[in-house]
Amino acid sequence: MIALSSTILGLCGAVLAIIFVWSFVRAKVWTELSTKNLQASIRPFLLLIVPLCALAFLGTTAKVFSLDVVGFLALGAFVPFMLSQIGLPVFYRSIILLALSVVLCQFVSAEQGADAVTAVLTGLASWKAVENLLNRPQSTFEDILPAFVFLSGAFWFKVGGAAEDEIRNAGLLLASLTIGLFLRWSERPLVGNDPYWWRRILISASGGLFLLIFVNKLLLAPHIAKIAALGGAGYFLAYIFEKMTPKEDEAGEMLKGFKSLVFVGIFTLLATRLFGMLGLLIVAAGATVARKHGIAQTVGIFFTARVLLQGFISAYNPNVTGINIMHAYSYAAMFAGLLAMFVVSSLFKETDARKYLPVALIGAGVALPVVSNYFLHAEPSGSLIAAALVSAVLLAIFLPQAYDLKLPGHENIILAPPIMISVAYLAGELIEQGNDASSHLKTQIITVLLILAVIVCVVMHFLTGKDAPVAAGEPEPKPE
């Protein structure tokens, strides 16, 4: 798909290998590995992967995509499942997943490259949602973030970016992620007590300097050397978000949530105005230096999902200027995207229904783009996803802090839009099929979907009704 030079692969691979081996051996990580969690987690994994693969297989029979997509989808979920459930710590998982992502993009063919990457991203994000919401073992995006950024970048370079610059841009992105992981590994003895942030400024500046050297000496592209400054700012932004993330026993602050969103808006505008989608990817790669799970990784997922959305629009939207939200269908789809994220967010308050949150989150991520692609067209689908992405990052960052709500795992709502975008791209063939379908056929399909929705609602009502088990730590409800 993207054949990086042996020099770049060798250098980045050597740095990642040194980080991994040094830490792995020194901390004796192998003593922590165990297969005892596999048996307990295999049931949630199968409940996820079997329906997803079944739906993907159904898509192959409808000639929406090739059979290879089913295998890549299962692979994207199985690899992080195995790495996490054997007890491998988060930092080591992030390195392995990044390395495997690079290998995938090196060997997958150009014809199936975009489909393979989006299928892997669907499986990766779906299992991460299940793992985080069920606390198996803890809720974090740190392990998937580097791989998520690189795969999304490879997708954009192939689908929407300039073809002549895809190898250069992919090498630059891999270097940014490698430098971020290196800074995180080497900063532990340096940051410590840093009340005036001089050490953090020095580390961020060093990251920008490393990136500048890479651009000038290895990529031989001095005309884009200014992007190194954006990379250094991205590393420092991760430290800012790390500071704004409240501790587990700390009450949220509305002002911190507001400041976080202001920084998100500023860097989104700055990166896209100066360097387009490549700039967003470089800023997202900066989130890898954050040592504490929180806003930094959530924003990194947001920046990366924005690049995925741009890829979908470039591939299927005939409107050169982007999405026309004044179009009737696009305007209605925008409200649907906002409503969907608010509905999913509200479920986090329902204690008895929390175990069904993965079903709601992944179900919305899979069903909404498929329905939108078939019954509407590309522009409303883009509007739906764009609204869902913006509302998801607003809810994930601002809601818990603004109202001081204790909603464990609420940040995982940011995973719904990437699933929606990946599925929308994979099911892009449905746009043309929907345009050619008769009104009678669409009416029949809508009727079947409504019947299935009613059945699902009835089943969920009985599963989460009065007889549902009370969560641990919650008082028994008093009879009225």
Phi-psi sector, 105: left (phi>0), alpha (psi -120 to 50), beta: alpha
State residue 468's pLDDT score.
Answer: 39
Say how many CA atoms lie within 13 Å of 126 toward its Cβ: 35
**C-beta separation of 308 from 421 below 8 A:** yes
Phi-psi sector, 87: left (phi>0), alpha (psi -120 to 50), beta: left
- Distance from CA of residue 92 to its chain's centroid? 19
Instruction: Tell me the DSSP string of 305-316.
Output: HHHHHHHHHHHH
* CA angle, residues 242, 303, 348, in degrees to nearest 5: 70
Alpha-carbon distance of 402 to 408, in angstroms, equals: 15
Question: The domain containing residue 290 runs over which residues?
Answer: 6-462
State residue 249's pLDDT score.
Answer: 61
Taking each continuous run of H as one helix and of E as one strand, the counts in the chain are 17, 0
Neighbours of 458 (CB within 10 A): 10
Residue 296, domain member (yes or no)? yes
The encoded tokens of residue 384 equal 């739906």
Residue 1, domain member (yes or no)? no
Phi-psi sector, 27: left (phi>0), alpha (psi -120 to 50), beta: alpha
Instruction: Tell me the DSSP string of 272-336.
Output: HHHHHHHHHHHHHHGGGG--S-SHHHHHHHHHHHHHHHHHHHHHH---TT---TTSHHHHHHHHH
Alpha-carbon distance of 360 to 312, in angstroms, equals: 23
The encoded tokens of residue 127 equal 């299992």
State residue 455's pLDDT score.
Answer: 73
Instruction: Give the residue among 375, 390, 374 at the shortest CA–CA distance from 342.
Output: 390
Residue the block writes with tokens 């078939």: 374
**C-beta separation of 314 from 159 below 8 A:** yes
Residue 105, domain member (yes or no)? yes
The encoded tokens of residue 159 equal 């689908």
Alpha-carbon distance of 43 to 61, in angstroms, equals: 27
Residue 286, domain member (yes or no)? yes
State residue 110's pLDDT score.
Answer: 78
Alpha-carbon distance of 81 to 49, in angstroms, equals: 11
**Structural domains of the chain, count:** 1
Residue 467, domain member (yes or no)? no
Give, as one character, the DSSP assignment of residue 353.
Answer: G
Alpha-carbon distance of 389 to 400, in angstroms, equals: 17
Residue 471, domain member (yes or no)? no
pLDDT digits (tens), the chain, 480 positions: 788 889 999 999 999 999 999 989 888 888 888 888 888 889 889 988 998 998 899 888 888 888 999 999 999 999 999 999 998 999 999 999 999 999 999 999 877 889 999 999 999 999 999 999 888 777 789 999 999 999 999 999 988 866 668 899 999 999 999 999 999 998 766 666 767 788 889 999 999 999 999 999 999 899 999 999 999 999 999 999 988 887 766 666 788 888 999 999 999 999 999 999 999 999 999 999 998 888 999 999 999 999 999 999 988 887 767 888 888 888 999 999 999 999 898 888 766 667 778 888 998 999 899 989 888 888 999 999 999 999 999 999 988 777 766 778 889 999 999 999 999 999 988 888 888 887 777 787 778 777 866 776 666 556 544 443 343 334 444 443
**C-beta separation of 356 from 464 below 8 A:** yes
The encoded tokens of residue 148 equal 């998520």
Instruction: Give the residue among 148, 166, 147 at the shortest CA–CA distance from 2.
Output: 166
Phi-psi sector, 328: left (phi>0), alpha (psi -120 to 50), beta: alpha
- SS3 assignment, position 220: coil
State the DSSP H helix or E strand holding residue 401, giving kind and residue range, or none if neither. helix 378-402
Instruction: Give the residue among 393, 232, 229, 226 at the shortest CA–CA distance from 309.
Output: 393
Instruction: Give the residue among 438, 462, 160, 178 at the shortest CA–CA distance from 314.
Output: 160
Residue 424 phi/psi, 5-degree rounding, is -60, -40
Residue 472, domain member (yes or no)? no
Per-residue pLDDT reduced to its tens digit, 391-439: 999 999 988 777 766 778 889 999 999 999 999 999 988 888 888 887 7
Instruction: Give the residue among 278, 257, 304, 285 at the shortest CA–CA distance from 146.
Output: 285
State residue 445's pLDDT score.
Answer: 76
Per-residue pLDDT reduced to its tens digit, 223-276: 999 999 999 999 999 999 988 887 766 666 788 888 999 999 999 999 999 999
State residue 456's pLDDT score.
Answer: 64
State residue 472's pLDDT score.
Answer: 38
The encoded tokens of residue 304 equal 């990366």
The encoded tokens of residue 243 equal 């500071």
Residue 408, domain member (yes or no)? yes
Task: Tell me whether the omega of the peptide bond preceding residue 137 falls within 30 degrees of 0, making it cis.
Answer: yes
State residue 254's pLDDT score.
Answer: 80
**C-beta separation of 385 from 424 below 8 A:** yes
Alpha-carbon distance of 144 to 247, in angstroms, equals: 22
**C-beta separation of 327 from 276 below 8 A:** no
